[in-house]
Amino acid sequence: MSQNIQQLLENNQAWVKRFEKENPGIFEKLSHQQNPEYLWIGCSDSRVPANTIVGLQPGEVFVHRNVANLVNYTDFNLLSVLEYAVNVLGVSDIILCGHYGCGGVMAAMESQEHGLVDNWLRSIKDIYRENKKAVDALSDSKAQVNLLCELNVKQQVKNLSHTSIVQNAWNNGTHLTIHGVIYSIEDGLLKDMQVSISSIDEVDRLYQLV
Ligand code: CO
């Protein structure tokens, strides 16, 4: 069902007409500034499109996506996005979104080489090792993968709270909350993992930088 680029350009023209009709002056308004309240960090998986699943329009969410929605401290791409979203755009909420059945999480659970991506996914093996008893206790492999997907979301929320960018924002009195949610590709529903963090007091002392 692949569409060629000509079809995509035609889709774009139809979308412009429809979107402008529903929101008169929207492109004029967006051309001056962006003022999103949210930073979204999600998986690159094509079935988890940020704006679409939470019903947000252009201009309403700043987005970063990578394989398995990871917050790795050596990733200057993510750190640059985070810094800009927090310090310049002044977002009030960061949404870390994982999804069940994540291929990146599945790959990290296997004892085999996949390529360069194994380096990217390495930190998920650490999460698996730390929670191996709970994960392996589940009887079917799908449930095991899904538990690790949830544990991965929880860890990445913590990782965000361990960055100097987030901690400095809190220290400067900025209201900033990090949320962890997980998406089900099977029914389209998002679940709040109830692991929101909104102050330095909720961060393990060892990881407090400021
Ligand atoms: Co994924």
CA distance 35 to 91: 8
> What distance in angstroms lies between residue 45's CA and the mean position of ligand 1's atoms?
5
Ligand 1 midpoint to CA 106 (Å): 9
Cα torsion for 96, 100, 101, 104, to the nearest 10°? 20
Mean per-residue pLDDT over the chain, rounded:
97
Mean pLDDT lowest among 31-35, 47-51, 163-167: 31-35
pLDDT at position 106 over 90: yes
Residues found in the chain: 210
Q: For a pLDDT cut of 70, what percent of the chain falls above it?
A: 100
pLDDT at 210 over 90: no
What spacing in Å lies between the alpha carbon of 107 and ligand 1's midpoint? Answer: 10
Query: Residues with Cβ < 8 Å from 1, sequence gap 6 or more?
Result: none
Q: Is the pLDDT of residue 1 over 70?
A: no
Q: Does residue 23 register a pLDDT over 80?
A: yes
- Helices 164-171 + 76-83 axis angle, to 10: 20
Residue 94 CA, ligand 1 centroid: distance in Å:
18
> What mean pLDDT do residues 149-175 have?
98
d(CA 159, CA 169): 15
Per-residue pLDDT tens over the stretch 3-21: 799 999 999 999 999 999 9
Structure tokens at 37: 């309240």
Q: State the pLDDT at residue 3.
A: 73
d(CA 167, CA 206): 13
Q: Is 111 exposed, middle or buried (0-12, 13-18, 19+ CB in 10 A)?
A: exposed
| Three-state DSSP state, 192 | strand
Q: Cite the active site residues.
A: 43, 45, 47, 99, 102
In this predicted structure, the answer to whether residue 132 has a pLDDT above a threshold of 60 is yes
Q: Where are the domains of the chain?
A: 1-32, 34-207
Q: Is the pLDDT of residue 2 over 80?
A: no
- pLDDT interval class at 90 (50, 70, 90): very high
**Considering the domain 34-207 in this protein, what is its CATH number?**
3.40.1050.10
Backbone φ and ψ for 50, nearest 5 degrees, come out as -50, -65
SS3 of residue 169 by DSSP: helix
Distance, in Å, from the CA atom of 66 to the CA atom of 48, rounded to the nearest integer, reads 11
- The helix (run of H) or strand (run of E) holding residue 97 is strand 93-99
In the predicted model, is pLDDT for residue 55 greater than 60? yes
